[in-house]
Amino acid sequence: MVLLELFWSFVKIGFTSFGGLSMIPLITSEVLSHGWMTASEVSDIVAIAEMTPGPLGLNCATFAGIHAAGVPGAIMANLGVLSPTLTLGAVAAVFFEHVKNNKYMEHILVGVRPACLGMIVGVMGTLLTNYLNTAGGVSLPAVAIGVLDLVLLVKVRLAVPAVIGISAALGLLCFGVLGLG
C-alpha cells in the first residue's frame, strides 16, 4: 500500500508543480502528511537533492522513496514524479506528429525558435551579470574552457558527455590543481 501511496503522492507533485524549488512545499506536505519523514529529514533530503546532479524533484523522490519503502519505494516515487512529464511529452509528440506538415504550425515555429534563442541569451546575460557582480571579474581559464567546448561541439562534433568530461577535467586542473581561479 505504501508503494501505491508513494506513486500517487509523487504523481500529484509532478502534475501540480513546475519543477525545481516550487516542488519543495508539495514534497514536504506529502511526506509529512503520510508520516514517511520528519520535517528535519525533509530538510536534509532537499539539501542533498540540491547538491546531487539531476532534477530536484527526481532526487527528492528517490530519497523520500528509499526512506519510506527502500528501493521499491524509490522506483515508485520516481515513476510517479516522472509520469506527468512522460504523459505530457507523449501527448505533445502525438500532437506534433499530426501537425508537422501543417503550414500554420511551420509559421508558428518560425517565430518560436528565435524566441527560445532570445530567452536562452537572456538567461546567459542574467547569469553573467550575477557572476560578474559576485565573482568580481571574468576568469580567462573559464572562458578558454568555454571556447574549447564550443569548438569541440560545433567543429569536431564531439558528443556532449565527452565535452562535459573534458570540461570537468580541465576545470579541476585549472582551478583545483593549478589554482588559477
Give Cα 11 distance to the centre of its chain: 17
Distances (CA, A) of 79 to 14, 66, 83, 132: 10, 13, 6, 40
Q: What is the DSSP string of 53-89?
A: SS-HHHHHHHHHHHHHHHHHHHHHHHHHHHHHHHHHH
Nearest to 5 by CA among 90, 64, 46: 64
Q: Are 76 and 65 in contact (CB under 8 A)?
A: yes
Q: pLDDT grade, residue 98 (50/70/90)?
A: confident
Measured distance CA(21)–CA(48) in Å, rounded = 13
Q: What is the pLDDT of residues 20-42, one digit of tens each?
A: 778 888 899 999 999 999 988 98
Instruction: Among 38-47, 73-82, 106-115, 120-129, name the most confident range.
Output: 73-82
Q: What is the pLDDT of residues 118-170, one digit of tens each?
A: 888 888 887 777 666 665 667 788 889 999 999 999 999 999 999 999 999 99
